[in-house]
Amino acid sequence: MKNPPVREPEPVTTCRSMVKPGEYMVLPANDRIVSSIRYLPDVGVQVMASPELGAAFVQYELLVPPATGTSRAIADEFEHFLFMLEGEAELEAMGRQHAMRSGSYAWLPPGEAFGFHNRSSLLSRLIWVRRRYEGDEELPVPGPIISHEESIAPVLHPVCDTRYLLPLETLSFDMSMSILSFQPGSFFSTPETHAMEHGLYMLEGAGIYWLNGDYVDVKAGDFVYMAPYCPQAFFVTGHDFTRYLLYKDWNLDYTEYL
């Protein structure tokens, strides 16, 4: 009797996405849908986190082909964080043009007009985080920051090295963006549970995230959302250096939700 023909895996068996509302979401690159935004013609937009998920921020991955970008300046009531994953872009902000490459980033306060364009011959990819700024009447709103991750000295921790892309000592920031870097075999010695929510983008490597009792494989290109008070821990797997870009709300007393 002949063996049955080998069948290609069904899409449902290869899907790694996991969504548990109020707890966490893992959204791999292969499962993300490319959509569009009116003022980003010809730019592919992957919406990774939004209020529909329960998040208090929006996070996109933008796929910017050559000769495309914003069709008009963006100036609204939100704060913005941009991080270049791949390629090059020209950021127009503060009346000047700023060359962006892989690892470049920008934080822009509410009302600061900006735009970006890919003037190279290759695709560019960038992370875009937006949230409604929550300030304090006694603290001035921070000014724009345009820099590169290599300009930030890493802070050495027992488990990982962390580059804090926004200054922790400036209390008027209501969000934190950082890059955590792990050597092979590293792991969190104890789980964390806290009020801050996370948007995590895997830049390199792979690992296992423990999320509210579930063990979930993650690798480069994956996006992970962690809701407030979701117990969490991370274990590096494989032999590769591992890094991720991490968003969290910061310096808040949470009374605005009362």
Domain annotation covers residue 171: yes
Q: Which two tokens stand for residue 258?
A: 């009362």
Residue 192's CATH number: 2.60.120.10
Q: Taking the model in full, what pTM does it have? A: 0.93
Answer yes or no: is 5 within a domain.
Answer: no
In a domain, 220, yes or no: yes
Q: What six digits make up the tokens of 233?
A: 């821990």
Cα–Cα distance for residue pair 131/249, rounded to 1 Å:
9
Angle at 27 between CA 115 and CA 192, to 5 degrees: 100
Of the pLDDT bands very low, low, confident and very high (cuts 50, 70, 90), residue 65 is very high
In a domain, 128, yes or no: yes
Closest among 171, 156, 174, 160 to 57, alpha carbons compared = 174
Of residues 236, 189, 243, 193, the one with CA closest to residue 213 = 193
The confidence score (pLDDT) of residue 241 equals 94
Distance CA 24, CA 121 (A): 37
Q: What torsion, rounded to 10 degrees, do the Cα atoms 55, 58, 62, 67 define?
A: 170
Residues 6 or more apart from 115 whose CB is under 8 A from it?
69, 70, 72, 73, 74, 91, 92, 93
Please name every residue paired with 235 in a beta bridge, in sequence order, or none if there are none: 187, 208
- 3-state secondary structure at position 224: strand
Contact indicator for 178, 160 with CB cutoff of 8 Å: no
- Percent of the chain whose pLDDT exceeds 70: 95
Residue 205 has pLDDT above 60, yes or no: yes
Say if 87 falls within a structural domain. Answer: yes
| Summary mean pLDDT of the chain | 94
- The whole-number pLDDT of residue 8 equals 58
Report if residue 3 sits inside a domain.
no
Q: Give per-residue pLDDT as tens, 228-251.
A: 999 999 999 988 999 999 999 999
Into how many domains does the chain fold? 1
Q: Which tens digit of pLDDT belongs to each residue from 26-59?
A: 999 999 999 999 999 999 999 999 999 999 999 9
Report how far apart, in Å, the C-alpha atoms of 86 and of each of 64, 123, 124, 202, 225 are.
Answer: 10, 8, 5, 14, 22
Output the pLDDT for position 59. 98
* pLDDT above 90: residue 6: no
Q: Which of 79-83, 183-187, 220-224, 229-233 has the lowest mean pLDDT?
A: 183-187
Tell me the C-alpha distance between 212 and 229, whole Å.
9
- Say if residue 3's pLDDT is above 80: no
Q: Tokens representing 99?
A: 């060359």
What the block records as the tokens of 12 is 């449902």
Q: Is residue 6 part of a domain?
A: no
Q: Of 201, 228, 255, nearest to 27 (Cα)?
A: 201
Q: What single DSSP character describes residue 64?
A: E
Nearest-angstrom CA–CA distance, 27 and 38: 24
- Domain limits at 46? 11-257
Any domain includes 248 = yes
